[in-house]
A = this chain, B = another copy of it.
């Protein structure tokens, strides 16, 4: 289970402020903490106007790379910003994201192919999110035809089946699970990822929903997720899930985390 650290995101107020004020220490601190917590990639999202995005993204990348060598996930739909950001990246970055939308495919896929980037691909079309897992899988199939045509290996694809909130459709999680199982079975080389911000939107006790959803998604084939690697409850959920699925040899990671107090209730 690989984690894409979500914290360096300019759509968050405090990060936007750090970008605007060029507060490098704040960004470096977020990078170090997420990397120490085991993030496999660090998402960087400037969240700014397309005119400023290339500069802001480059500034973020340089500061992150000055303290960690964790690969980046370049979170932008702007081909211009992406091209500049890729040049600034020391290691091949992940691209976050494409979708079945023709414009994104046309503009971003050639960049992905040229640089051999892993890429997150959302199971949605022209900004519409299909309601059924069948239709989401159709979008995924459309995307994979395009990526294969460009010689992008399936193993560089991270499909996000999209987890919408359960509060307005109680089948949202099941639709995501079904889409995941179908991808696992029909495109076994491809990866699965998910953003956890929506599934519990509008519900109370959101962290319970997010954590159990993640555990069940891993069972359905999820092998990466975009989340806050500093969230201790989420860390506990991931370690427990991997233990249960027989992926923690001699239970060492679980026991080690327990010794470090991960499963203890926080002192209040």
Contact = CB atoms under 8 A, between A and B. Distances in A.
Nearest to A244: B173
A167 interface: yes
A240 B263 contact: no
A62 interface: no
A262 to B, nearest CB: 8
Interface stretch (A76-84, A88-96, A147-155, A251-259): A251-259
Interface string A205-237: 100110011011001100000000000000011
A244 to B, nearest CB: 5
A151 B258 CA distance: 50
Contact of A251 (B167, B245, B259, B262): B167
Contacts of A245: 173-174, 216
Contacts of A263: 204-205, 208
For the residues of A in contact with B, the DSSP-based class is helix
A170 interface: yes
Given A216-B216, A265-B265, A268-B265, A166 B244 contact: yes
A1 interface: no
Interface residues of A, number: 40
A21 to B, nearest CB: 36
Nearest to A250: B170
B244 A203 contact: no
A244 B204 contact: no
A259 to B, nearest CB: 8
A235 to B, nearest CB: 11
B205 A244 contact: no
A126 B148 CA distance: 54
B215 A212 contact: yes
Contacts of A259: 204
A9 interface: no
A213 B244 contact: yes
Given A240-B209, A241-B212, A268-B268, A171 B258 contact: no
12 contacts: A166-B243, A170-B246, A170-B248, A203-B254, A204-B258, A204-B259, A205-B236, A205-B262, A208-B236, A209-B240, A216-B219, A216-B245
Given A208-B236, A209-B240, 6 more contacts: A166-B244, A204-B259, A205-B236, A205-B254, A215-B215, A215-B216
